[in-house]
Amino acid sequence: MGTLLRALLAAFVCVTPAIAQTLVACACDVETVCLSDTQMSNHATHVEMEPDKMGNHANYGGVAVFQIGFDEKGRVTGAGAISGHPLGISHLMAAVSKWKFKPVVVKGVKKRGCGKLSIRFAMRENVPSAEVLKRATQD
């Protein structure tokens, strides 16, 4: 019975009306805080993209959307691509272990976080660039 109650509570906390439209499914539990798109973009402190090591003079760009989980220290614990250019996703995923986030603090206690993150990326002559898209909407 306690497990069912915790699961229902986690589902309720994860999908409040204010953020239901901006979140994709995340592994919410008592120790993980699910963040809206705006909150995720504000917690991201560093994202990068690996260069093309095959020597191709690749030129492409776009926006990729990821579902990200991070721990109490701001290190990525899980990442999955939702949409974006396949080459961009590949080079972004190769660098995901280097991405950093500000920890979520609830009542003075650091917690894990998860949510959806949009990243604008470009590869120009094997020189990569990546930046988090900041959201202007209120969540």
| Distance from C-alpha of 55 to C-alpha of 64, rounded to nearest angstrom | 23
Mean pLDDT score of the chain: 80
Percent of the chain exceeding pLDDT 90 equals 57
In this predicted structure, what is the pLDDT of residue 5? 39
Q: Which of 95, 42, 38, 100 is nearest to 73 (CA)?
A: 100
Tokens 């998860």 -> residue: 114
Read off the pLDDT of each residue in 56-76 and give the average, rounded to a whole number. 91
Tens-digit pLDDT profile for residues 76-130 = 999 999 999 999 999 999 999 999 999 899 899 999 999 999 999 999 888 899 9
Domain edges within the chain: 2-132
Q: Which residues contact 41 (CB under 8 A, 6 or more apart)?
A: 117, 118, 132, 133, 134, 135
pTM for this entry: 0.74
Domain 2-132: which CATH class?
Answer: alpha beta
Side-chain half-sphere CA neighbours of 138 within 13 A: 0
